[in-house]
A and B are shown apart, each in its own frame.
Chain A
């Protein structure tokens, strides 16, 4: 499979730009980030979209809903705790999903929230930044060889460590709290969740993310699926704020009389 390396120049420009930015240099200035050379790693940077709108299909993406939304897919093998949670989540109003009260969505839930599902990947020395259109969330994926931060309190979006395996960025995320759902369907997870995402760019226009969910408190064996993103160099990350949903609900309440 061909690794896309055409963006090396862009990467170099980005690295130069970010190197000049004290705020983004952050840890590197304090010597805690060992810079790896992005020029030697595949280029997955740029703006990516999960949903192109207007009925447009992403070439290479199978038809139908992805695994975070597909209610017809086989159920993962749940523990009794997870089964009870899942049943309760499905019975409750959609409003019970913490993301609809504007708590951070967690991962992989963030891949199935807003309409276009736009994110920008930025590769800088020692880190890959994932900038989401939804609520301006930013994930920092450390690729400088550090270990997980065991001291940090449990987080909504997890603690992400990445490494390159050939042309694939493998990201392991731990230290989640148990307050988010995994998908639109209401599958729960515990604080023992370990998420592995494999970012791969099979061609210039396509990014795939293979996701493996391992959570022994909730599932008796790992499960997951694949997401597909289209390269959109002519798009930018705009904004899609969660709070606007509540404003819209107020509007609906007043209008629908």
Chain B
């Protein structure tokens, strides 16, 4: 079964992890360094600290739905980049690129996101 609509190339850890890990409480150590891209439909969106969470359904080539979660920058950082509680809505079509959980869970640390084809500013964290 093809799990990803697109899979991306490996990049070095140094490019992915900012020089200063801001909230070391939960590091990015248990995510893959390579990037994975999936597209799906938003089912829930929580603009929260320390990491915002986006829940979305991804259909594979056989029509089977996988439930994905993308966690990303803190609510304070995204708020100051222009995000709000209504930036994402149920049913929105997104394409998320990020580092997938090393254990294969359908969880990623989000790096970039397209909403209806348009990239949303993320800031850097």
Contact = CB atoms under 8 A, between A and B. Distances in A.
Interface string A174-202: 00000000001000000000000000000
B115 interface: no
A255 interface: yes
A65 B19 contact: yes
A244 B48 contact: yes
B24 A240 contact: no
Given A53-B125, A115-B73, A256-B30, A95 B25 contact: yes
Most buried by A among B25, B79, B81: B25
Contact of B20 (A65, A95, A235, A251): A65
A231 to B, nearest CB: 14
A133 B107 contact: no
A12 interface: no
Contacts of A240: 49-50, 74, 76
A115 B125 contact: yes
B22 interface: yes
A240 B122 CA distance: 18
B19 A114 contact: no
A55 interface: yes
Interface in A201-255: 235, 238-241, 244-245, 247-249, 251-252, 255
Interface of B: 19-20, 22-27, 30, 48-51, 53, 69, 71, 73-74, 76-77, 79-81, 101, 103, 105, 107, 121-125
Looking at chain B's contact residues, the main secondary structure is loop
A69 B20 contact: yes
Q: Which 5 residue pairs across A and B have the least CB separation, nearest first?
A: A53-B123, A54-B123, A244-B49, A256-B105, A115-B22
Nearest to B55: A255
Interface of A: 51, 53-55, 64-65, 69, 94-95, 100, 113-116, 118, 133, 184, 235, 238-241, 244-245, 247-249, 251-252, 255-257
Given A54-B81, A54-B121, A256 B25 contact: no
Most buried by A among B23, B26, B50: B50
A184 B30 contact: no
A115 B27 contact: no
A79 B26 CA distance: 31
10 contacts: A53-B77, A54-B123, A94-B24, A115-B77, A115-B125, A133-B76, A184-B24, A240-B49, A240-B50, A251-B71
B24 to A, nearest CB: 5
Contacts of B22: 51, 114-115
B75 to A, nearest CB: 8
